[in-house]
Amino acid sequence: MADGVVTESVSASTWRDLQTVFGTKGDPAGCWCQWFKLSRADWDAATREETRARLHDQVQAGSPGVIARIDGEPVGWAAVEPFSAYPALGRSPITRRKEGDPEDPWAVTCFVVRLEYRKRGVARALLAGALEHARERGATVIEGYPVDPEVRPSLSAAERYHGTVSLFRDGGFEVVRRPSATRAIMRRELQS
């Protein structure tokens, strides 16, 4: 992995480390990767404590993603589960299924990298970890829904939580369509 970054699937034993990654300030501390799992009304009504509790329950029930570490310190997270685990993906005009799309591919929906660990290859390691995580659970196709800062360089760090087109391209994904100028649907087939 890049710069000594190692990844593993999250589990009940990694919950405290995951809390460190999400922190107490900024967008990750409010989202806890529930944006794609809730209806808009439920999202608007949810408190930080409720979104944190929902992710806690999801981690206890299974493994909804991967965590990254550098020298044992938790530094990042990527959410990866089947498309069907994210109801909001099916409702979004950006990500809803089109004719010819695989019905239920695995989806990498977001990345969180602690501010002080950015630009050290953590997102690349997380994407590689997400691929392995999905493959180990039987995935044959995986998608990402990244933004394209080459088209709009002014994208903020907060807007890049989907990952970037170059990140996914470097991870072996191909653009299958462009639902907007700054967004892409990217896909990769996984070998067993």
User: 79-127, pLDDT tens digit by residue?
Assistant: 999 999 999 999 999 999 999 999 899 999 999 999 999 999 999 999 9
Q: What is the pLDDT of residue 144?
A: 97
The domain tally of the chain equals 1
DSSP letters along the chain, please?
-GGGEEEEE--GGGHHHHHHHH-SSHHHHHHTT-TTTS-HHHHHH--HHHHHHHHHHHHHHS--EEEEEETTEEEEEEEEEEGGG-HHHHH-TTTS--TTS-SS-EEEEEEEE-GGGTTSSHHHHHHHHHHHHHHHTT-SEEEE--B-TTT-TT--TGGGTT-BHHHHHHTT-EEEEEEETTEEEEEEE---
Q: Residue 27 sits in which domain range? A: 2-189
State the pTM of this model: 0.94
- 173 neighbors 131 (Cβ within 8 angstroms): no
pLDDT score of 8 more than 90: yes
- 154 neighbors 102 (Cβ within 8 angstroms): no
The average pLDDT across 127-140 equals 96
Please state, in angstroms and rounded to a whole number, the distance separating the CA atoms of residues 8 and 146: 22
CATH number at residue 12: 3.40.630.30
pLDDT tens profile 56-68: 999 999 889 999 9
List the structure tokens of 35. 């944006």
pLDDT score of 1 more than 60: no
